[in-house]
Chains A and B, each alone.
Chain A
Amino acid sequence: MDAFPSRSDAGVVVQDLHVTFPLYHGSARTLRRTLAKVASSRFEQDQQQRMVVQALRGVSFSLRPGDRLGLVGGNGAGKTTLLRALAGIYEPVAGRVIVRGEINALLDTNLGMNSELTGRENIALRGLHAGLTPRRIRAIEDDVQDFADLGSFLDMPVRTYSSGMVVRLGFALATSVRPRVLLMDEWFLAGDTNFMMKAQNRLEQLVRQAEILVISTHQLDVVAAWCTQVLWMDGGTIRLQGTPEDVLPAYLADEPAVEGDPARDKAEAG
């Protein structure tokens, strides 16, 4: 298995990844009762008799430059958890995650944005998160201004923005840092059609530079249009892996009602 063709290329290798959540908070007793009813195989007690949720169970795959991976699967299949594990937020309980290249993760609707701060202040903050110098942050500010097209709203607090504007700002910010590995959750698809066209142009520009994209979504047309590979997640494991032509028909046949609503609900909630 030649994981990375060369040392300087971006790459992702996930080996037998296990992610397990302890259930400490919330009412353990009622939770336990609920769980007994659900009787799902994904809940179990570990050696110390704690309740745990096995969010990912033995996931393995690898990605090379140019790969665009779409994660599909029902709610709670482990898609977002996998994205967070790739971002290095959740460290493996077992197994290994290796990511070579600068990572950028678009996971939360507000991306750690502070809604009390103006758009411009948030840009500066985001740049600081990425460890950039003030000069590079100014360059990013111009770039974001061009793309997000917020006009005078850039100097208003983000809480006054419409959800579409927040998404435009977030998307422009995340893609302006030019990550070599871009991780995206489905929320960003909440933009209007006009934005989607622009987003696609910008995203394809990124991927053309031989970088890696991992996107989790319920919108299968997006997967078909943007992705070169699909990972069908089910219950924390990989159900099926392959090209969109292979996986999507099988996925649709199995879960015909998945398209549409969940993604929209999530976007509106955020």
Chain B
Amino acid sequence: MRLRGLYLLTLLLVALPFIFPDNYYVTVVGVTAAVHAILAMSLNLLMGYAGQISLGHAAFFGMGAYASALLTTRWDWPPLLAMLFGLIFTAVVAYLISRPILRLKGHYLAMATLGFGIIVNIILVQAGEYTGGPDGLSDIPVLALFGWEIDSDLRWYGVMMAAVLLVLWLNLNLIHSRMGRALRALHTSEFAAETMGINTTATKSTIFVTSAVIAAAAGSLFAHQQSFVSPGSFSFFFSIELVTMVVLGGLASTYGAIFGAIVITFLPELLVVFEDYEVMIFGAILMLTMIFLPQGIYVVVEQRLLRWWQKCWLQSGESGGAT
């Protein structure tokens, strides 16, 4: 019941490459959308559910990507080992900064995470000896899973979509667990959460690390898929884009985060026809959405559909009773 959406999405994702074989929007833009969806879901855990804003999420994405890129190109580590190292490294860094940073609230937390994101980006640019500086690192080897090389668009489509479904499954389970309830509780009132016996510091720290590690995993996959990384992909602007995805879909809605990621990825592709006005129209769409649907597009549509459905259900029930 809880996982119904997950099953539907699985069907859809499996069907798409059959319905549209060799379609650029499915296997190329779709894969980018998948990376964005994973990132948006991870950020939504922190922002949507726990209520802790982060303007530096791209940094964790970058840490995962650069760990894979560096270790596989410079030191010839096997890709999976490099990925694992990247995740552990990101977890340690996220844990170390979470304690001081999550004491802050609201704008101050936003500022601190923003600063962290910028620092990481500066390191990527400045440590050119290792990271290749602004030019980045190229020729990242192909990722192979048990001898199966992921070397085509279609294979990447399969791997990324599997990753999306896995993260979605993790999210849905987490949200409905004891931990998920604790997150929503501390979002509402930290004081009340403490009187319930929730260790708010530890809970916030746990979700911050979880969120960062998921982002790093996305980064590692992204590095192998692109076979090239540069600091531009992990900048402050990308952090803001991720926040936009989460807010656009609707805070505290996992499917909303996926929806936001899809919109933000595909909209620019569709707006290409407007050429020079593309960015302006993109901005206008975002503004209008936030003015008229501040709860997020996905959340509002879901509520309306649910209400409509219930109405139909009631009416059919009444007419059934009358006859």
Is B truly associated with A?
A: no
Q: Chain A interface (Cβ within 8 Å of chain B)?
A: none
| Chain B interface residues (CB < 8 Å from chain A) | none
